[in-house]
Chain A
Amino acid sequence: MAAYLLRRVALMVLTLFGISVVIFVLLRLVPGNVADIIFDAAGMINPAEKAGLERQLGLDRPIVVQYGAWMGGLLEGDLGHSYVSDRPALEEIAPRLPITAKLAGLALAFSILFGVPLGVVSAVRQNTAIDYVLRVLSLSGLSMPAFWLGLLILMAFVAWTGFIPIYSETPQSLWDEFLVYSVPAAAVGFRSSALVMRLTRSSMLEVLRQDYIRTARAKGASEPAVNYRHALSNAILPVITVIGIEAAFLIGGLIVTETVFNIPGVARFLVEAIRWRDYPIVQNLVMLIAVVVVVVNLIVDLLYAVLDPRIRYGE
């Protein structure tokens, strides 16, 4: 186990290093840098002033030196400064993190709350009308563009209640705050729950075909007991891996949903930072996302090992 863990962590570090290089190089291929964007608002480019700005931001240094500076800073816990706001990147990113975390947490809860039970029902009632309806529903959930769904939900909400569930720093009441998070979370969660449902269903079906379920049935265990006690407890394991898949899936949904609902979280911030060519913000945010995805996947794998006694990692 310890050896396995060590290997995984080593690979993880290697992956993250690779990502840092890829992102760093990609960003510098972008036509136009932050100096262009900053001058854009001025409606003209003064070459001397632009060169001055690039020097001040260190953009005139060789790319290797710039990369070294970034990595060196990261190791010391210094994420650099935002080119646009002049403030430390950490100060820009940190306050936005809990907002996205809350949203992601709610969306995840939403997707599990709906996805798992519906997936079980769909599997148990395989090839019945309920199964078909649920499958079509979940597939259509996965087929809609997340921002389109968000926009429709937002419009419908305003039309019916007159209240607009977009982020507010000082919510009027606890209920308002709940709405402000839960409506966009539902928009993201709807798609995620479709994913969870499909995965639960197939994992449940897999288990239902296993020998020990047949044995339980043969021994005369009641149908609900078989389905829910024996099968579900075994099927839930693979569902945990879903959370790993979802981490990546959710982030995609959050990016567009935070834009539609004007939520000042890190996902929307990433899009804005890309637009501004604010390298320190983009680099660090992408790294953060990668770390989250990689770590969540590691935890899921370990959790799997802990929960399933049949699996022993050793290699």
Chain B
Amino acid sequence: MTPVDYDAELTRAGANASGVWGGLLFLARRQPLGAVGAVIMALVVFAALFADLIARCDPLATSAALSLAPPSAAHWLGADFLGRDVWARIVYGARISLAVGLGSTALGSAIGVAIGLASGYLGGWVDLIVQRVVDILQALPLLVLALVMAASLGPSLRNTVIAIAIPLIPYVARVIRANTLALRELPFVEAAKAVGMSEWRIAVRHILPNTLAPLIVLATAQLGSAILTEASLSFLGLGIPEPHPSWGRMLSESAAEYVRTAPWLVIFPGIAISLAVFGTNLLGDALRDILDPRQRS
């Protein structure tokens, strides 16, 4: 396994870039698809941050007169069965979907990094046990594990984040462990040991930063899969409960019921999910190409 100097790669990648715009411009030239992904993600983040300003109405306000109202100038994307504005719900939904996506990715990554690092760096019986746990978690398809987790925790925002985070752990742990194993053998670790640095400090100060690049690549990909998993869980009635306007919830059984009379209830949230995941995937691909030259195509 050849060690990679990620810092150098990153610097090189952004060699001529100055500031965010320069970076974006650079990305656009070298990774046009990645730039598209970045723009999509920026839009989603923008919607989530400024939902109050762009929603135009209360996503929870019900109205008899607006029940299943089609898209109009007043209600751009129509209204749902309870007369709630779909545009407002999608905008606020960005907040929830992003919170679930980022929350579960962060949680899963944090635990994954911790055990991956411990496993790779400490080796021995720690490694052995961690590997078995990872095997166990990985032998179950993500959705199956998330389903059982969600059912046993009960439906809530926090529990959904946990249910999606746990299945992510093994993927992160695997990657971090492999990188740690490679890094452990490098001369600078030897050097750090020689000057009497503690094992813990070496792991956190020297090894962890060097695993960041593959982690970013992986986390970006997982973000999309977390958003999709939340949607599937909600569709199966085990995700985010009402009245939170998550995109998955909006697509769940009660909305799907009106798919023929009010297709906007199903089409727009579906597009929102697909677009957001598409954005993370494009971005993830580009980041991988930039940060992980072994995989570069």
Q: A and B: direct contact (Cβ < 8 Å)?
A: yes
Asked if A151 contacts B266 (CB within 8 A), the reply is yes
B136 adjacent to A143 (CB under 8 Å): no
CB < 8 Å: which of B147, B152, B278 contacts A139? B278
Q: Taking each of B33, B135, B237, which has the highest tally of chain A beta carbons within 10 Å of its own beta carbon?
A: B135
Which residue of chain A lies nearest to B256 when distances are taken between CB atoms in the complex?
Answer: A151
A255 lies within 8 A of B147 (CB): yes
Q: Which of A26-34, A64-72, A99-107 contacts B (4 or more CB under 8 A)?
A: A26-34
A147 to B278, CA, bound (A): 16
**Does B261 sit within 8 A of A, measured CB to CB?**
no
Q: Are A255 and B143 in contact (CB under 8 A)?
A: yes
Pairwise interchain contact B132-A270, C-beta atoms closer than 8 A: no
Q: How far is the CA of A294 from the CA of B143 in the complex (A)?
A: 16
Contacting residues, chain B, for A15 (C-beta < 8 A): 132, 135-136, 139
Interface size range of chain A in the complex: 35 or more
Bound-state Cα–Cα, A132 to B136, Å = 38
Q: How far is the CB of A125 from chain B (nearest CB, A)?
A: 12
Q: Are A271 and B147 in contact (CB under 8 A)?
A: yes
A286 touching B148 by the CB < 8 A rule? Answer: yes
Known: A11-B135, A31-B154, A146-B232. A286 touches B274 (CB 8 A): no
> In the complex the two chains form, is A19's CB within 8 Å of B136's CB?
yes
With beta carbons under 8 angstroms apart, the residue of A11, A135, A139, A251 that contacts B144 is: A251
The verdict on B120 contacting chain A, using a C-beta distance below 8 Å, is no
Given known contacts A11-B135, A15-B132, A145-B273, is B147 in contact with A270 (CB within 8 Å)?
yes
- Given that A19-B139, A151-B259 are contacting pairs, would A282 and B148 also be in contact in the complex, using a CB cutoff of 8 Å? yes
Of all chain B residues, which has the CB nearest A138?
B281
**Also in contact, A145 and B235, with CB within 8 A (given A15-B139, A23-B148, A252-B143):** yes
Bound together, the chains give a CA A23 to CA B166 distance in angstroms of 14
B236: contacting residue among A29, A139, A148, A271, CB under 8 A? A271
A144 within 8 A of B: yes
Question: In the complex, what residues of A have CB within 8 A of residue B236's CB?
Answer: 255-256, 259, 271
Q: Are A274 and B147 in contact (CB under 8 A)?
A: yes
Q: What separation, in Å, do the CA atoms of A19 and B285 have in the docked complex?
A: 33
* A304 CB within 8 Å of chain B: no
Which residues from A are CB-within-8-Å of B33? 132, 135-136
Contact call A205/B297, Cβ cutoff below 8 A: yes
Q: In the complex, which residues of chain B have a beta carbon less than 8 angstroms from the beta carbon of A126? A: 297
A140 and B274 contacting across the interface, CB-CB below 8 Å = yes
Q: Is the CB of B297 within 8 A of A148?
A: no
B297 close to A202 (CB less than 8 A)? yes
* Distance between Cα atoms of A135 and B284 in the complex (Å): 13
Among A24-52, those with CB < 8 Å from B are 26-27, 29-31
In the bound complex, CA of A142 to CA of B285 (Å): 13
Chain B nearest Cβ from A156, distance in angstroms = 11
Give 1 or 0 for each of B216-234: 1 = CB within 8 Å of chain A CB: 0000000010001001100
| Nearest CB of chain B from residue A259's CB, rounded to whole Å | 7
Q: Mark A183-200, 1 if CB is under 8 A from B, else 0.
A: 000000000000000000
Q: Which residues of chain A come closer than 8 Å to B139, judged between CB atoms?
A: 15-16, 19, 290, 293-294
Instruction: Name the contact of B141 in the complex, choosing from A18, A26, A289 (C-beta under 8 A).
Output: A289
**Majority SS of interface residues in chain A?**
helix
* Complex: A251 Cα to B146 Cα, angstroms: 13
Asked if B205 is at the interface (CB within 8 A of a chain A CB), the reply is no
Asked, given contacts A14-B132, A282-B148, A290-B139, whether A145 binds B232 with beta carbons under 8 Å apart, the answer is yes
With contacts A151-B259, A155-B259 known, is A26 near B149, CB below 8 A? yes
Question: Is A9 interfacial (CB 8 A cutoff)?
Answer: no
The one of A22, A27, A29 in contact with B136, judged by C-beta atoms closer than 8 angstroms, is A22
Chain A residues near B154: list those with CB within 8 A.
Answer: 31
Kindly state whether residue B262 has any CB partner on chain A within 8 Å. Answer: no
With a cutoff of 8 Å between Cβ atoms, the chain A residues found around residue B133 in the complex are: 18
Q: Is A240 an interface residue (CB 8 A)?
A: no
CB-nearest residue of chain B to A271 = B236
Indicate if B98 sits at the interface (CB-CB under 8 A).
no
Interface residues of A in 2-22 (CB under 8 A from B): 11, 14-16, 18-19, 22
Tell me which residues across on chain A come within 8 A of B228, comparing CB atoms: 143, 145
Cα-based distance from A309 to B144 in the complex (angstroms):
36
Query: Which of chain B's residues 256-285 have a Cβ closer than 8 Å to chain A?
Result: 256, 259-260, 266, 270, 273-275, 277-278, 281-282, 285
The answer to the question of A248 belonging to the interface, with a C-beta cut-off of 8 Å to chain B, is yes
Q: List 11 A-B contacts (CB under 8 A).
A: A29-B153, A143-B224, A143-B277, A145-B232, A147-B231, A151-B266, A155-B259, A259-B235, A270-B144, A275-B237, A286-B148
Interface residues of A (CB under 8 A from B): 11, 14-16, 18-19, 22-23, 26-27, 29-31, 126, 132, 135-136, 139-140, 142-148, 151-152, 155, 201-202, 205, 248-249, 251-252, 255-256, 259, 270-271, 274-275, 282, 286, 289-290, 293-294
User: Apart from A142-B224, A255-B143, A290-B140, what 16 extra A-B contacts exist at CB < 8 Å?
Assistant: A14-B135, A19-B140, A132-B33, A135-B33, A142-B277, A146-B232, A147-B231, A148-B273, A148-B274, A151-B256, A155-B260, A202-B297, A256-B232, A274-B151, A275-B151, A289-B140
